[in-house]
Chains A and B, each alone.
Chain A
Amino acid sequence: MVTFDGSTHQPAKAWPVVGCDIVRISSSSATKRRRSKLTPGRLGTGGALFGPICLLIIWELASQTGLLSPRLLAAPSTALVTGWDMILDGTLGKHFLASAIRAYSGLALGLVLGLLLALISGLTRIGEASIDGIVQIKRAIPTLALIPLAILWLGIGEALKIVIITLSVMIPIYINTHASLKGIDMRFVELARTVKLSRKDFIRRVALPGAMPGFFTGLRLAVTTCWTALVVLEQINTTQGIGYLMNRARDYGQTDIIVVGLVVYAALGLASDGVVRLVERRALSYRRVIGS
């Protein structure tokens, strides 16, 4: 509160000196600080699990009471048992390995390709002129729509699957890295000029580190994209892989195996995202230094 005690300069519209709505903020009465009601409070580490656990419980109850027929969807407990059996007899491992090899070879290739194209396009004029437009067009076409052509060119073997995954992974890596490169603070470019950095040093010390945040955003999208494409691809001429497993289970009405497949995808997606975040936090550690 503002008081003008003893002052001769009372403002025209005088502030009430006493009796106004003073809010006393004291810590003596309460040990716990009141939280602002305007924004939700912080969620603890386990907080994010609340929704999924509720869903599981409802699902299990619905299955147990017969509301949910096992022909439409197996109970979580059934899927758990099936999954465990599949791990024990090795089928899950075999199919998982086949899928992982496809997904991660595609991811690795797409990552290198996307990064390379982003750098060429982001750092050179001729690169931008020749690459960016093509990638933007490619981005507008759903990758899966390329499958018919790809089959004609590459056949229906592994090459097809890896190429399609590569192409779909490349896009988020390229888009985000390129945007990040293009968005590098002009102030740093000026600085680089005044300290007379060579082009090589500029790329190494200013452009690349500046593009890193975008690259990691792209990578987080890419690690899930690579599995997305796989589901469709594993319907084509294959006898191994999680996608194949799920499609065959559909033919036999084994919803429990389908659920197992879904769980594998979910676990993989979450785990990959976690790994990328970990790497990102390390690589961009300079950002975390204050608080956060």
Chain B
Amino acid sequence: MSIVQFSRPLPSVPEPTRQLTAVRLENLSRGFAGRVVLNGISLDIAEGQFVALIGRSGCGKSTLLRALADLDDDAEIGGDLIIPENSSVLFQDARLLPWERVVDNVGIGLNLPEKERRERSLKALRDVGLAERGKAWPATLSGGEAQRVALARSLVRKPALLLADEPFGALDALTRLRMHDLLFTLVREHRPTVLLVTHDVEEALVLADRVLVMEEGRITHDIDVKLSHPRRKSDPIFEDMRHELLKALGVDQSV
């Protein structure tokens, strides 16, 4: 594993606090029907850190996320995994129950008295700008709205760890940009540790404190992104990192 440290941290960014580890993977392996998908990954993620995991399709990044979400019953497993008790998952599809109204979708599984659950769900909906859609059926929402409801559902349970599996992959480009802002704002407010799986290098660089590159079941690059927010894609350091990451993914644009 090569650790690339960019040597020009901007002065305004404080060094992230790294005393507490939220997620620890020790030699984590996963296989399906004899095929190794995760090949002995060791990794620490600090509490409150926003980590983006990028890689080509089939590199195992979704498998890693599903391992952390405990959604891999049928896998052959190896290694150790320590994660916070309270984690929530943001899927690529909004995955709203079509037969429950939006507000009930947000509050699903919250172990609270009815009234409190409702209040918190409505507040979470307000946070994503959908306060007035609480009584709507999911089928009436647009793709972006549905994904915002899913975001509200993830955050309403105040997760210590937010696992996001290409959550904006199915959205159009404009909506995706807005979702980046929204996710960033809400994450800054709620301070969960975040693991965002994406295939979009820019998305990773705009949002994350740290970018991991995965290839054939291993993490090959581990890069700290020490740029202040809001990040501009025209920033030369941003550009450099983008090239660096694309190169790590096997796309060389320097020529």
Contact = CB atoms under 8 A, between A and B. Distances in A.
| A and B bind | yes
Interface of A: 187-188, 190-197, 201, 205-206, 209-210, 212, 284-287, 289-290
Interface size band for B: 20 to 34
A210 B99 CA distance: 8
Nearest to A290: B139
Interface string B105-135: 0001110000000000000000000000000
A287 B139 CA distance: 7
B43 to A, nearest CB: 21
Contacts of A188: 95, 97
A194 B88 CA distance: 6
Interface in B137-176: 137-140, 153, 157
A195 B137 contact: no
Contacts of A187: 91, 93, 95
Nearest to A284: B99
Nearest to B70: A193
Contacts of B89: 194
B255 interface: no
Given A286-B99, A287-B139, A194 B93 contact: no
A289 B101 CA distance: 12
Nearest to A185: B95
A195 B88 contact: yes
Contacts of B140: 289-290
Given A187-B93, A188-B95, A195-B88, A205 B139 contact: no
Contacts of B88: 194-195
Contacts of B69: 194
22 contacts: A187-B95, A188-B97, A190-B71, A190-B91, A190-B95, A191-B91, A191-B108, A192-B109, A193-B71, A194-B69, A195-B110, A195-B153, A195-B157, A196-B109, A205-B100, A205-B108, A209-B97, A212-B99, A286-B137, A287-B98, A287-B139, A290-B140
